[in-house]
Structure 1
Amino acid sequence: MSPAALSRRSLLLGGVTAAGLMTARARAGTPAPLAQPSSVVTTPPRQWGPHAPAPYLPDPDILAIDPSFSNLVYGNANIRLAWRGGDWLEGPAWSTQGRFLLLSDTIRAQQYRYLWETGTVSVFRDYSYNSNGNTFDAEGRLISCEHGMRRVVRWEHDGSCSVLADRYQGAPLNSPNDVVVHPDGGIWFTDPGYGDTIVEGHPDAPGGRANRMGRERWAMDGEVVAQFAGHARQDDHVFRIDPHTGELRAVLTQQQLAGPNGLCFSPDGSILYVISSGAGPGQDGPGGDQRIHAYDLKDGDVRNGRVFADMMLDGHQLGPDGMRADIFGNLWCGAGGPLGLCGVVVYSPAGRMIGRLRLPRGVSNLTFGGPKRDTLFMCAADALFTLVVNTQGAGLS
Structure 2
Amino acid sequence: MTHEATSSLVVAGAVLEHLYHGAAWTEGPVWLAESHRIRFSDIPNDRILEFDAASGSTSVFRRSVGYANGRTLDRSGRVVECSHGRRAVELADRDGTPRTIVDRWENHRFNSPNDVVVASDGAVWFTDPPYGIHSSGREGYPGEPEYEGCFVFRHDPATGTTRPVITDMTHPNGLAFSPDESVLYVADSGRLWIDDGPHHVRRYRVSGTEVGEGEVFAVVEHGVPDGMRVDEHGRLWVAAADGVHVLRPDGTPAGFVPVPEVVGNLCFGGPDGHDLYITASTSLYRIRTTTRSA
Tell me if TM exceeds 0.5.
yes
TM-score (norm 2): 0.94
Conservation of the 8 A alpha-carbon contact between 2:227 and 2:239: yes
Shift of 1:168: 1.3
Cα distance in 1 for partners of 2:165, 2:101 equals 16
With over 3 angstroms needed to count, the CA separation of the structure-2 counterparts of 1:288 and 1:367, relative to structure 1, is farther
Letter in 1 for 2:255: G
Please provide the CA RMSD for this pair: 1.8
Conservation of the 8 A alpha-carbon contact between 2:177 and 2:183: yes
Q: Secondary structure, in 3 states, of the residue corresponding to 2:45?
A: coil
TM-score (norm 1): 0.70
Is 2:182 aligned against 1:270? yes
Corresponding residue of 1:136: 73
1:1-397 to structure 2, matched below 5 A, reads 59-60=1-2, 63-65=3-5, 69-157=6-94, 161-196=98-133, 197=135, 198-203=137-142, 229-230=143-144, 232=146, 234-253=148-167, 256-280=168-192, 283=193, 285-286=194-195, 288-312=197-221, 317-336=222-241, 342-394=242-294
* Structure 2 unaligned residues grouped into runs of 5+: none
Q: Secondary structure, in 3 states, of the residue corresponding to 2:277?
A: strand
> Hey, which of these two has a bigger chunk of helix by percent?
1
Cα deviations by residue, 1:216-275 (Å, 9 ceiling, x for unpaired) = xxxxxxxxxxxxx3464552010011142121111011xx11110000011121110000
Shift of 1:278: 2.1
Letter in 1 for 2:140: G
Cα distance in 1 for partners of 2:98, 2:47 equals 16
> Hey, which of these two has a bigger chunk of strand by percent?
2
Cα distance in 1 for partners of 2:15, 2:97 equals 40
Which structure would you say has the larger RCO, counting Cα contacts within 8 Å and 6 or more residues apart?
Answer: 1
With over 3 angstroms needed to count, the CA separation of the structure-2 counterparts of 1:289 and 1:102, relative to structure 1, is same
Shift of 1:89: 0.3
With over 3 angstroms needed to count, the CA separation of the structure-2 counterparts of 1:163 and 1:287, relative to structure 1, is farther
Shift of 1:160: 5.5
Cα deviations by residue, 1:318-345 (Å, 9 ceiling, x for unpaired) = 4111110110011111101xxxxx1111
Shift of 1:378: 0.7
Shift of 1:183: 1.6
Q: Secondary structure, in 3 states, of the residue corresponding to 1:364?
A: strand
Letter in 2 for 1:95: L
Conservation of the 8 A alpha-carbon contact between 1:184 and 1:243: no
Letter in 2 for 1:202: Y
Conservation of the 8 A alpha-carbon contact between 1:100 and 1:115: yes
- Structure number, greater radius of gyration: 1
Letter in 2 for 1:186: A
* Structure 1 unaligned residues grouped into runs of 5+: 1-58, 204-228, 337-341
Cα distance in 1 for partners of 2:170, 2:179 equals 25
Shift of 1:96: 2.0
With over 3 angstroms needed to count, the CA separation of the structure-2 counterparts of 1:279 and 1:129, relative to structure 1, is farther
Letter in 2 for 1:246: G
With over 3 angstroms needed to count, the CA separation of the structure-2 counterparts of 1:288 and 1:237, relative to structure 1, is farther
With over 3 angstroms needed to count, the CA separation of the structure-2 counterparts of 1:108 and 1:157, relative to structure 1, is closer
Cα distance in 2 for partners of 1:110, 1:234 equals 30
Using the aligned pairs only, state the percent identity: 38
